[in-house]
Amino acid sequence: MKIEALIHHINQCCTNNNLSKARSIIEHNWSLVTESKNYLLLNFIAQDLVKIIKDEAQNAPFNRLNLNEKQILNQMNQFVRDLRYFQAKQTYIKHKDLFNRPEIYSLLTADAKILCDSFISND
């Protein structure tokens, strides 16, 4: 695909609020899209999306987690959301070393953070 067509497709996806498709295209063609001359052809939404992807790649603790750890965090958030505190506590106890890592807290919901803090104070 020519770069002009690629840029047009990304811009069109962003304009139509199809950000997941735009993100996929940007990530797949990262080196082409981030060249300065091509980057300037992107609309403002697409440029912001490129900045977000770049920041996530540099700062995200989520990328350092394996699939099992991501599933545990998702499960904890679901237990707390569904008010299943007993299961949440059992998950916390079983995976205490995971929840003691400081970067994990940014991936928990606000309620899950409060609950995990209470589990720590009860130990």
- Show me where the domains of the chain are located: 3-59, 64-122
Per-residue model confidence as pLDDT tens digits over 6-37 = 999 999 999 999 999 999 999 899 899 999 99
Number of helices followed by number of strands (H, E) in the chain: 9, 0
The Cα-based distances of 84 to 60, 70, 76, 116 in angstroms read: 28, 19, 9, 13
> CB of 95 within 8 A of CB of 116?
no
The verdict on pTM exceeding 0.85 is no
Residue 116's closest CA among 105, 55, 107, 106? 105
Q: Residue 64 pLDDT > 80, yes or no?
A: no
Per-residue model confidence as pLDDT tens digits over 71-111 = 999 999 999 999 999 999 999 999 999 888 878 888 899 99
Span between the terminal Cα atoms of the chain, in Å: 58
Which spans in the chain are helix H? 3-15, 19-28, 30-33, 36-39, 44-59, 67-81, 85-94, 96-99, 110-122
